[in-house]
Every structure is written in C-alpha cells, then in structure tokens.
Amino acid sequence: MSIEVRNLIKKFDERTVINDISFKVADGEVLAIVGFSGSGKSTVLKLICGLIPFDSGEILTSEGDIAMVFQYSALFDSLTVADNISFALRERKDLRKKYTKDEIKKIVSQKLELVGLKGIENKFPSELSGGMQKRVSFARAIVTKPNTILYDEPTAGLDPMSSTLIEDYIVSLKREINAASIVVTHQMSTITRTADRVIMLYDGKIVFEGTPTELLKQDNPYTKQFVTASLEGPMQMQG
Amino acid sequence: MATTLQKYLKQSATYKVFSQFLVVFADFLDTLGKIAQMGVHVVKAIFKREIDGKELLAQCDRFGVSSLPITLSIVGMTSIIVASQVAHEMVKQGGGNFVGMLMTILIVREVGAIMSGFAITSMIGSSLASELATMRVTEQVDAIDVLGVDSVSYLFVPRVLSGMIMMPFVVILASVVGVLLGAVTSDMFAGLTYRAYFDSAGLGLYMKDLGVCLLKAASFGATISLISCTCGFYASGGAKGVGLATTKAVVWSFIAIVVLDMVFAVLFFF
C-alpha cells in the first residue's frame, strides 16, 4: 500500500464536496481520477498532500515524500529553472545540509535530462512554453525521490504532441521510481495512455471504478455520458 | 405572521446596516487573528534561526535602497511645508530662535517615522502584498508547502526582518534630509539664518528621542511587512483577490502606523 483513502469527507461551508470516498493506490500503479469540472477531483489531491484539512475519514500513505505537479505548473517565477528544481534541496530543513552546491548542480542537470530539457538551467519560467514549464515542474517534483506523485490535470491546455510527451513522462516516471501516482484529468488520451485504474467522481462520490478498458465499454450510465461527452445522462453540469 | 415580520425586518435599513457592520467586524477580527498568528510564527522562526541570509539581503535591498527616493522626497516635502507655515510666523512673533528646535523635535519624534511609514507602505507594503497574493493564486505558495518547506518561514521571515532592520536607517536619513530642508525653507521664507536655525536645533532633543525614533521605526518596518505579507498570503480568487489583498494591506498598514504611533506617544512622552 502506498496510498489508502478511507471514508473521506470534505465540506466547504455547508456544501459536501467529497462525500465518503475510499480507494487504494499501490506502488508503481497509476490511478486516474476523472469527472466533470467541479466534481471534486483536485480537492482529493489537495487533501492527500495536506494542503487542505479534511472533515472526517483517513488518508494513509507510506513513509516518504509526496510530490505534486500542479495544473498550471506553479513554478516560482522569480527563480531560475535550476533554483526551482533544487528548491527543496536548498530550503528543506532535512535536506539543506545533505548536498553540496556541486552535487545539487549535478542533480538538477540529471532531472532536466530526464524530462528532455538539457541546458535550460539559467532560464526563468516566463521564458519557457507551457509544455516546457510542465516538464520543469515534473523535474522539481521528483527531485526528492518521492514515493507518491500527484498530477493535477497534467495535460490540460497543452497541444496534442506536448500532451503525448507529458503522458510518456508519467509512464516512464512510474517505471523509474516505482511511485504510486494519481492523475486527475478529464482527457481521454491521458486516461488511456497512463492509467492502470480509473475512478470517476460525480457530486463528491465515486460513481465508477475500473480499468481504462472498462471505462471505454460504457456499461455504466456515468461512464457512457463521460466518454460520449453527452449532455444527456445522470450527470448534470454544475452552475 | 412571524415569517412576515422576519421578512419585513430583513428588508429594513437598520437590519442591513447592522448586518453589514457585523460582516465588517467579523472580517476585522479574522484579519487581526491572522496577523497575530503569523507574527507568532515569524518570532518562533527567528528564534529557531530559520533565516535565509541571501534572501534577507535581497529583501533589505528592496526595503531600504529602492524605497529611499520616494521616502526622502515625502519626508523632505513635508518638512518644507511645515517650515514654510511656521518659520515666518515664529520669526514674526519673536520666536525665530526656536524654529530649528521645533522642526527637529517634530521631524525626529513624528514626521520622519510616520511619513516614512506611509511612503514605505505605499511602495514596499503594496508590492509585498501583491507579490505574495500572486504567489497564492498561482499555487506557488502551495508548491512551497508540498515541497516540504514551511511557506510562512520562507516568505515572511526575510521580509519582516528586513523591514525591522532597514526602516531605522531609512528614517534616520529621511529625518536628516527633513531637518536640512527645514533650514533651507526657513532661510528662504522667513530670512532665518542657518546659524540661528542650527543653534536651536539640538535644544529640545535628547538621547531618549533618538532611541524612541529608532524603536518606532523598527516596529513600523516589521509591522508594515507583517501586515502586507499576511494580507497577500491569505488572498484568494485570482486578479480581483490580488487587488483586494493589496488594498487591504495598505489600509491596515496605514491604520497600524497611526495606532502604533499613538501607543509610542502615550508610552514615552505622556
């Protein structure tokens, strides 16, 4: 077990956004959480990495770091690419004396090479394209060798080729560091190319759990509506 | 019947004014609580020596050096205005020998610190608030936390410390410029000689005044940074949220400066 979520409930004011959900993700497994906008997908990630507190339930994770790749990269715009990637190594209490400057430089180069962006250490995030920023945020996330990686809409807003590249990185990172990964997405290509299992959220509840192939079979009225992108079905758009 | 009465009451102007007042009061208490909470966090972090030296230097440069032109201009111009109003009248009433004393006391005890505080708030405070607010709404603050770094210590400590360290230097420089411009203005508007001005300049000034001035400046600097960082840190809701946080930081800093100034006046000169 790397991540186990049990009976998780989260309310914002009086509105229940996550309503008693439970699931597990094993090491080396990629779980895709899908659903329409506003279904609570990103909230689940923020609850798992502790950015927001939950009201009841349990979140169990294995010892080690949790990393997150944010939807809009969330790179520190006042720092260079190298400083962004090495941020945790330089600023975290338990790591800041562990590495020398030369070692940090080497690690940054290695991570950049891993995401196919050699030689951009001194550039600032504003000088990079959206896809490149996303890849730098991948490099920053894996610098502490996490055993859990959370991806919040990693391919949203990217062109098809950049999306494919990002999806390949998710798969290769899974193999490389054997981390348990959760990918929040609503893009079919990301689901089919990266996920081992899929859960679908609607109105804060899990309405489908299975493999990407089972999702595509459309046996369930929710999956049918999601896959066909139909306005007719049990799910109503919020707002 | 009860429902109709309730509906009628909710439509009344008194109800609307009172409920609006409660909302504003709740927000006031909420902000005050957050500032206090962040203040305690920063003090703890400073005692634990969680200070990034490189970042502290960068913030000192921003707080002290880049704010100097506007601070010196505002304090200088205030001194010119005050001197032009009082010097001529005092010379006319036979008090010309005390213009220097009056200007020095006024600038060292009040004008230097308070006008520098206002200048720093509008220039540095607003920039700190919008910087942190932008980081918040673009999830950069969340990224700091997810990477295992304490975002409050990382963002607040160098900024609050730089305010505390640099503000006394800024106020000293601004006060010197203010006193000098007071002399020039008194000469131009009232024909008061520089010698007469500077002979009395030190008369009413004691070491206590300088000490209180520096202490006040340090507390203004720390307060402006703390309030501005807190307002930015708790921003939400995109571009509008950044704007609201910046406005809140400036308003709260202005009020805090006046309140702190009053506390210092009561504590040391009452």
Cα separation, A147 vs A154, in Å, equals: 18
What single DSSP character describes residue A92?
-
Whether pTM exceeds 0.95: no
Buried b (16+ CB within 10 A) or exposed e, B145-178: bbbbbbbbbbbbbbbbbbbbbbbbbbbbbbbebb
Cα separation, A171 vs A195, in Å, equals: 9
Of B145, B149, B154, nearest to A51 by CB-CB distance is B145
The more confident residue out of A205 and B133 is B133
Establish, for the pair of chains A and B, how many residue pairs have beta carbons separated by less than 8 Å.
52
Provide the mean pLDDT of chain B.
92
| Closest approach of A127 to chain B, Cα-based (Å) | 17
Provide the mean pLDDT of chain A.
88
User: Looking at residues B98-124, what average pLDDT do you find?
Assistant: 94
Phi-psi region of B238 (alpha: psi -120 to 50; beta: other; left: phi over 0): left
Instruction: Please check whether the domain covering A3-228 is classified as CATH 3.30.572.10.
Output: no
Residues of A in contact with B145 (CB under 8 A): 50-51
pLDDT at B257 exceeding the cut of 70: yes
pLDDT at B109 exceeding the cut of 70: yes
Domain ranges for chain B: 19-269
For residue B214, the one-letter residue type is L
The more confident residue out of B2 and A64 is A64
If DSSP states are collapsed to H, E and C, what string results for B108-121?
HHHHHHHHHHHHHH
Among chain B residues, the shortest Cα distance to A45 is held by B146
Cα separation, A194 vs A185, in Å, equals: 11
The per-residue pLDDT for range B220-256, each reduced to its tens digit, is: 999 999 999 999 999 998 899 999 999 999 999 999 9
Q: Nearest Cα to B149, choosing from A17, A233, A94?
A: A94
Residues of B in contact with A72 (CB under 8 A): 138-139
Say which residues have a Cβ less than 8 Å from residue B266's Cβ, sequence separation at least 6.
Answer: none
Q: Nearest Cα to A10, choosing from A221, A211, A141, A204?
A: A204
**Is there a contact between A92 and B148 if contact means CB atoms under 8 Å apart?**
yes
Among chain A residues, the shortest Cα distance to B51 is held by A91
pLDDT at B1 exceeding the cut of 70: no
Say which residues have a Cβ less than 8 Å from residue A183's Cβ, sequence separation at least 6.
Answer: A30, A31, A32, A33, A151, A154, A170, A190, A191, A194, A195
Q: Which range is least confidently modeled, A36-45, A52-61, A226-235, B86-95? A: A226-235
Residue A50's Cβ-side half-sphere holds a number of Cα atoms within 13 Å equal to: 13
Cα separation, B108 vs A127, in Å, equals: 47
- The pLDDT score that the predictor gives to residue A238 is 59
pLDDT at A239 exceeding the cut of 60: no
**Is there a contact between A72 and B140 if contact means CB atoms under 8 Å apart?**
no
The per-residue pLDDT for range B182-223, each reduced to its tens digit, is: 999 999 998 999 999 999 988 888 899 999 999 999 999 999
User: Looking at residues A158-174, what average pLDDT do you find?
Assistant: 85
**Is there a contact between B140 and A140 if contact means CB atoms under 8 Å apart?**
no
Residues of B in contact with A144 (CB under 8 A): 147-148
Residues of A in contact with B135 (CB under 8 A): 76
Among chain A residues, the shortest Cα distance to B154 is held by A91
pLDDT at A115 exceeding the cut of 70: yes
Cα separation, B209 vs B199, in Å, equals: 18
Cα separation, A129 vs A134, in Å, equals: 9
- The pLDDT score that the predictor gives to residue B181 is 96
pLDDT over 70 percentage in chain A: 98
State the pLDDT confidence band at B12, using cuts at 50, 70 and 90. Answer: confident
What torsion do the CA atoms of B112, B113, B116, B120 make, to the nearest 10 degrees? 170
What torsion do the CA atoms of B68, B72, B74, B78 make, to the nearest 10 degrees? 160
Residues of B in contact with A94 (CB under 8 A): 148
